[in-house]
Structure 1
Amino acid sequence: MEINVNEKIENPLLNRTEIHFDCTYQGEATPKIMDVKNRLIATLDVDKNLLVVHNLKPSYGEGKAIGYAKIYDSEESLAKIEKDHVVKKNAAVVEEAEDEE
């Protein structure tokens, strides 16, 4: 799986950086959000508690997906701005990875 960051947008009003990226996974299943999140954390060298993968939209039959993620300046900003279901989705994903290790 390869991740290519297409665009980084600084959003000082919301204390975050917005990331638009492409994910290529030829011959593999669509990657799980945790796999994408781990790859983004490694690629961008950010704290795992501050990165939120908002969505990942696969393209039918191509082995590609388009994604959107947000990197917050602080956990307080993340908790104040993000919706609960997005935070829970990313938190549940982190807990699963820690259980596997």
Structure 2
Amino acid sequence: MEINVIEKIENPLLNRTEIHFDCTYQGEATPKVLDVKNRLVATLNVDKNLLVVHNLKPSYGEGKANGYAKLYDSEENLNKIEMDHVVMKNKEATKEEKEEAE
């Protein structure tokens, strides 16, 4: 999986940077949001607790997806602004939750 950042837009009103990116994954399944988030964190060299992948839209039959992520300046702002379901899909499962799933 390869990620290319297309555009970074500073949004000082909401204390965040909005990131538009392309994700290429030829011959693989569409990546999970957490996999994309971890790759973005590594690419941008930022704190993973401040980054939220808002959406990932795959292109049919191409092995590509367009994505939108938000990088906040603090966890307080992230929790105050971001909707709960978006935060939950970007949160890694804890050890106890993994054991319950098995």
Shift of 1:39: 0.3
Shift of 1:88: 1.1
Instruction: List gaps (5 residues or longer) in structure 1.
Output: none
For residues 42 and 65 of structure 1, the distance between their equivalents in structure 2, rounded to whole angstroms, comes to 18
Max Rg structure: 2
| Aligned length, in residue pairs | 96
Match of 2:24 in 1: 24
More helix by share: 1
Where has structure 1 moved over 3 Å in runs of 4 or more? none
State the SS of the aligned residue for 2:76: helix
Q: State the TM-score, normalized to the length of structure 1.
A: 0.91
Instruction: List gaps (5 residues or longer) in structure 2.
Output: none
Shift of 1:95: 2.2
Match of 2:33 in 1: 33
Q: State the TM-score, normalized to the length of structure 2.
A: 0.90
Structure 1 66/96 Cα, relative in aligned 2: closer, same or farther at 3 Å? farther
Report the RMSD for the aligned CA atoms in angstroms. 1.3
Sequence identity (%): 82
